[in-house]
Amino acid sequence: MGRARAVMAAAVGAVLSTGAVYVPQAAPAQAATTTQGEVVIQWNRTLLGIVRTPGAQPATVHATRNFAIMHTAIADAIDARSGSGYAAAAEAAHDSLAALYPARRADLDRQLHDELANVPDGPAKTAGIRAGQRAATTVLADRAHDGSDATPPPFVPGDKPGDYRPTPPAFAAPVFTHWSGVRPFVLQRGGQFRPRPYPALTSRTYTRALNEVQLLGQDTSTKRTPDQTTQARFWAAPIWNYWNEIAQDAAHRHGTGLAATAHLFATLDRTFADAAIAFYDGKYHYRIWRPVTAVRAADTDGNPDTHGDPAWNPLAVTPPDPSYPGAHSVVGEAGATVLSAYFGPSDRFTVRSEALPDVTRSFTGYQDAADEAGLSRIYAGIHTRIDHVAGEKLGSRVARYVLAHTGKD
C-alpha cells in the first residue's frame, strides 16, 4: 500500500491506542457536492446497483469480496500518485467491475467515458488512466485464486439437539459452505477471532435467549412492539449494503477529498470482506441450529425451562446458514467501528432501507445503528441474543485489526 494509506493507518492506530477520534481533513461544507471524492462514491453506488440486480452477483461469490476488490484497486491507483487521481480512480473502478461483472461491460464503459470526459486531455490524464489499469490488474491477479472459486462442499446436517439443519419453508441447502476457506484481505486467517464455544443448551444464557426470541420473534407475536416490527423489516436486506450507503452519506456530508474517501471505502470494505470470511468460519465451525428449529424442538433439548412449539414460525424467513454468530451483528459492529474511527462516534445520519423503501431511520451515532440492526434479527425471529453478542464482538475485533494493519501489509 502507498504512503497515503500508511499515514491513514498510523492515524487510526493512534485512535485505537488512545481512544481519541481521528477525523480526516474535510473540504469546506459548501464544496461537499463537488469534491473529487464523489467519483469513489459514484462507483460505490454503481456496485450497489449491480449487487441489487437479481442474478447479477454470482451465487457462490460473496458480494463483500467484490466491494473490497474494487475499493482496494481505487485506493492503490490513487496511492501510486501518477497523474490525475480522478482518472486513476475511475479507471481502476471500471476495470475491476468489468472483470467481475462482464455482462455489465457496456454500462460500465459508458460511465467511465462520461467521467473521463471531465478530465482535461494530456499527460496527467494518460498517466492516471494507466495507474488505474495497473492497480486493477494487480488486485484482480492477487485475488484470482483466493478460494472464492472453490466448489462449496455439501453440508451434512446433524441430528442432535443444537445441530443446524435446513429450515422451513424451503429447507434450502446452506450457502457459502466454502467461504471460511477464502484468503482474507487483512486478517491472517478466517478463524483468527473465532467466537468462543456456544453455551450449553441447559445454561441460563441459552434459556433466556431462546425464550426471548420465542416471545418476540414469532410471526404472530403480541409482545413485539410496532417499532420492533418495523426494525425487523427495515434491516432485512443485505447488511453490508446499508453500511456502504451510510459511508457514502458520511463521506458526502464531510466533504472528504479523493484520497481520504478512497481509503475510507478500502478500509471499510476490506473489513466487511474479512468479517464475512470470519462469520462463516464461526457458523460452519459450530453449526448451531436456528431459532425456528430450536423452538420447535425445544422439548428435546434437555432443558426443562424451554418449551417446544411445533407450530412456531418466525416473522422473517430464516436465511439458509447456521445461526452463530449473527452476520448482521458482525457487519454492523464492524461498520460502526470503522466509521467512528474516521468521523467520530456521534455523527448524525439517516438510513434508508431497500427492504422498506419509503421508510427512514435516524441515528446520532454509528453504534446505535449497529445495535439496532443486530437486535432487529431477534425481532425477526431468526437469531438469538447469543448470536448478536458474539457477532458484535467478532465485528469489533475484525475492524480494529484491519484499522491497525491497513497500510502495513
Cα torsion 174, 175, 180, 181: sign? positive
* pLDDT score at 17: 40
Domain locations in the chain? Answer: 37-142, 179-405
Task: Count CB atoms within 10 A of the CB of residue 34.
Answer: 10
pLDDT score at 10: 42
Q: Report how far residue 186's alpha carbon sits from residue 267's, in angstroms, rounded to the nearest whole number.
A: 10
Q: Give the CATH number of domain 179-405.
A: 1.10.606.20
Exposed/middle/buried for residue 228 (C-beta within 10 Å: 0-12, 13-18, 19+): buried
What are the average pLDDT values for consecutive 10-residue runs of the chain, which has 409 residues? 42 39 32 68 98 97 98 96 92 98 98 96 97 98 97 96 98 98 98 98 98 98 98 98 98 95 98 98 98 98 98 98 98 98 95 95 98 98 98 98 76
Residue with cell 467512528: 340
Question: 255-278 burial, b for 16+ CB within 10 Å, e for fewer?
Answer: bbbbbbbbbbbbbbbbbbbbbbbb
For 157, the 3-state DSSP assignment is: coil
Element (H, E) at 361: strand 360-363
Kindly tell me the burial class for residue 190, based on how many C-beta atoms sit within 10 Å of its own C-beta (0-12, 13-18, 19 or more). Answer: buried
Q: How many angstroms separate the CA atoms of 310 and 170, rounded?
A: 17
Nine-digit cell string for 78: 490513487
Phi then psi for residue 183, to 5 deg, are: -70, 125
**Residue 356: closest CA among 256, 213, 266, 229:** 229
Q: What is the pLDDT of residue 8?
A: 45
Distances (CA, A) of 245 to 72, 106, 343, 361: 18, 25, 15, 13
Residue identified by cell 441447502 is: 173
Distance CA 114, CA 110 (A): 6
What's the pLDDT at 394?
A: 98
Tell me the pLDDT tens digit for each residue of 147-205: 999 999 999 999 999 999 999 999 999 999 999 999 999 999 999 999 999 999 999 99
Model confidence, pTM:
0.92
DSSP state string for 293-329: HHHHTGGGSS-TT----TT--BSSPPPSS--SS-HHH
**Contact present, 255 and 31 (Cβ < 8 Å):** yes
Distance CA 376, CA 242 (A): 14
Distances (CA, A) of 29 to 21, 111, 262, 347: 20, 27, 19, 15
